Amino acid sequence: MIDLLGKRGSGTAHCDGLTRRNFLKIGGMAAGGLSLGQLLAVEARQKTGRSHKAVINIYLPGGPSHLDFFDLKPDAPKEIRGEFRPIKTNVPGIEICELFPRLAKMADQFSIIRSLADSEDAHDCFQCMTGRRSSEKQNAPRGGWPSWGAWASKLQPSEGGVPSNMSLMYPTGNRTWGEAGHGGFIGAAHSPMQLVQKDPLAKPQNLVLEGIQLDRLNDRASLLRGIDKFRRDTDATGQIGGLDEHNAQALNILSNGGLMDALDVSKEDPRIAERYGVNIPTYQRDGAPKMIRNFLIARRLIEAGARVVSLNYSRWDWHGADGMNFPRSREEMPLLDQGLSALLTDLKERGLDKDVAVVMWGEFGRTPKINSNNSRDHWPRANFAFLAGGGMNHGQVIGATDKHGNEPSERPVKFQEVFATLYNCLGIDTATATVLDSQGRPHYLVDSGIKPLPELIS
């Protein structure tokens, strides 16, 4: 749902003083304080063939097991190695879980970091969206730390008018698994545009503008009255101006713009859509639904002009009696194998693999020792990251953990190093790029001394 004005009296204030009703909302959540010029002048992107650098950030809520995904220990005792066996990939020397047979055939197209070393011990996607630990919130500049997509939005505007920073993160019962972050001190204008709502079956292209349904958008007079109300509210705050020139574009984007086309998977070649598998819209407890075709929508949004698309997929916290690790893995991992391999194939076939990077990870790894519920508990001392595309050097494993997967034994990697690498894929030099906060102080995108991973970009 797109809601330009929202309901009166919601009263939820944002850090810049604007209330929820002042924002364009997609999927019932605030998109941020973008001016109408930024939000409504979204038209079908011209296919010019120009390079368009972008990143798809896939977050697996709950902490997937590094030991059962990409860092199996077949020589360890049974209570550590678990039930799965590694299989060979098309890159000699690289092995991954037997439940990823499709990915095993394309290991030359991705890289695995087995030594992500600074995971926070918290069920929170904050680190996967900002590169920072939750404890750093206390020392953040006024407005808070921006999501990494907000930095990209500020420094690398999108093409074709589509907002640069977009979110397909479903709201979750565990709130911190469904937040793509915000604009922080950079400003609400660079917050991720939220494209989905709690009900995964709801159609995001079902538009509402002060009660005007899509089939009534041709009533231009009613549309303009709605925009006039939006203008009066926002001009009163002194935050947004210059709306008149975009009234015509508003009708165009709301009725048949490129953004809405990107969200409409029915316009995709059915043979390509089928590769990804079938959505399972039910929630697994407090996690996200298994909307595997959102991987496809992410690709379509990037083609429409977005720079960063973040999404959450399913629930990977399996260490209680109601969700044992190995039975759940046998259900979940083949679905992920299908969807992720389809995305990589899709990007390569469309010539996007050099320009579009993919990162997949969770908030932490899992205990080497299997508990009494045949499951693995939380384990922040070791984690993994999966990287593909982006013109990076692939077909390699970076780092290693000890013989039982307890902690990195070679090449420990920090979250911020991964983000520095992704910024590099976008064409942003983290050594020189800065953004000013509200006090006029410059901030670098990553901490001093943090550099992109040379193994991937050299």
pLDDT given for residue 1 in this prediction = 33
Helix (H, G, I), strand (E, B) or coil at 55: strand
Does residue 219 surpass a pLDDT of 90?
A: no
Cα separation of 32 and 193, whole Å?
Answer: 7
pLDDT given for residue 260 in this prediction = 73
Helix (H, G, I), strand (E, B) or coil at 419: helix
Cα separation of 75 and 141, whole Å?
Answer: 48
**Which tens digits make up the pLDDT trace of 152-166?**
999 998 766 678 999
Does residue 207 surpass a pLDDT of 50?
A: no
pTM of the model: 0.82
Type of residue found at 401 = T
**Which tens digits make up the pLDDT trace of 52-84?**
899 999 999 999 999 999 999 999 999 999 999
Q: Give the model's confidence band at 176: pLDDT under 50 very low, under 70 low, under 90 confident, else very high.
A: very high
Q: What domains are defined for the chain? A: 2-457 (3.40.720.10)
Cα–Cα nearest to 243, from 252, 233, 256? 233
Residue position matching structure tokens 């159609």: 203
Does residue 453 surpass a pLDDT of 50?
A: yes
pLDDT given for residue 222 in this prediction = 53
pLDDT given for residue 317 in this prediction = 95
**Which tens digits make up the pLDDT trace of 358-368?**
999 999 999 99
Out of 135-144, 254-263, 385-394, 405-414, least confident range = 254-263
Cα–Cα nearest to 18, from 31, 3, 27? 31
- Per-chain mean pLDDT for the chain: 82
Backbone torsions φ then ψ of 21, nearest 5 degrees: -70, -20
Helix (H, G, I), strand (E, B) or coil at 57: strand
Cα separation of 312 and 334, whole Å?
Answer: 17
Type of residue found at 105 = K
41, 64 Cβ separation under 8 angstroms = no
Cα–Cα nearest to 260, from 53, 43, 36, 37? 43
Q: How many other CB atoms are found less than 10 A from the CB of residue 413?
A: 22
150 membership: H or E segment, kind and range: helix 148-155
Gyration radius of the chain's alpha carbons? 22
Does residue 48 surpass a pLDDT of 70?
A: no
Type of residue found at 269 = D
**Which tens digits make up the pLDDT trace of 297-334?**
999 999 989 999 999 999 999 997 766 899 999 999 99
Residues in a beta bridge with 436: 442
Does residue 218 surpass a pLDDT of 60?
A: no
pLDDT given for residue 9 in this prediction = 37
**Which tens digits make up the pLDDT trace of 372-407?**
999 999 999 999 999 999 999 999 999 999 999 999
Backbone conformation region of residue 175, classed left if phi is above 0, alpha if psi is from -120 to 50, else beta? alpha
Backbone torsions φ then ψ of 400, nearest 5 degrees: -155, 155
Of the chain, the percentage scoring pLDDT greater than 90 comes to 66
Residues in a beta bridge with 435: 443
Helix (H, G, I), strand (E, B) or coil at 358: strand
What single string gives the DSSP state of each residue in 209-276?
ETTEEGGGTT-HHHHHHHHHHHHHHHHHHTS----GGGHHHHHHHHHH-HHHHHH-GGGS-HHHHHHT
Does residue 215 surpass a pLDDT of 50?
A: no
